[in-house]
Amino acid sequence: MKPHLLLGIDPGTNIGLAVLDTRTDKLLVCTSGDFFRTLAVIKAQYPPHKVADVIVEDARSLPLYARHRHTSRAARDRVARNVGSVDMVTTLITQWLQAKGYHVQAEKPQRRKKWDADTLARLTGYTAPTNEHGRDAARLVVGRGPQITRRVA
C-alpha cells in the first residue's frame, strides 16, 4: 500500500496536528496537544509507511522585528523568548520526524486570514471541536491531497 496520509504540524507550546487522507481528500484529524503527546500520537497512529508527507509550519527564516515604537522592553523580551521557544520546537519535531523516516517539508506561515470552526467545516466537512492550533495545521494540508498522491504514485 502506498503512503496515503498527509500530516500538517503547527509547532508551538500547543502543537496543532491535522491528518488528511490523500485518497479521499478528507480531513481525518484536526487536534492539538503538548509536545510529547503529539509525538506519541504520530508514532502510534501514523507510521512512516502510511505517511506521504509531513508539512511543518516553519517561521525560523522569517525576520524578527525586535523594535516596536509602542512596545515595552519587557513585551519585546517576552516575544523574543516565545519565538525562540517555537523555533526550538520546530527544530526538534523536524529532527525527530526525519530520524523516524518521515519525509518532512517546511513551509512558511501563511499570511491569509485564520480559519474559524465554521470556515473549516465549510471547506472540509470536518465538524468535530477544534482550536486555532489544529485549524492552523489543517490549513497546511487541506487541498493538497491530489497533488501529493501524484507525487507518490
Q: What is the pLDDT of residue 145?
A: 67
Using only C-alpha atoms, what is the Rg of the chain?
16
Quick one: cell of 103?
Answer: 519525509
Write phi, then psi, for 96 (nearest 5 degrees).
Answer: -65, -50
Q: What is the four-CA torsion angle of 92, 97, 101, 102, rounded to 10 degrees?
A: -140
Looking at residues 65-91, what average pLDDT do you find?
Answer: 66
Output DSSP code: residue 113: P
Higher pLDDT, 77 or 111: 111
pTM over 0.75, yes/no: yes
Q: Which residue has the cell 509531513?
A: 54
Q: What is the pLDDT of residue 126?
A: 95
Task: Measure Cα distances from 3 to 7, 25, 29, 47, 65 in Å.
Answer: 11, 14, 17, 10, 40
One-letter amino acid at 100 equals: K
Please provide the average confidence, as pLDDT, over all residues in the chain. 86
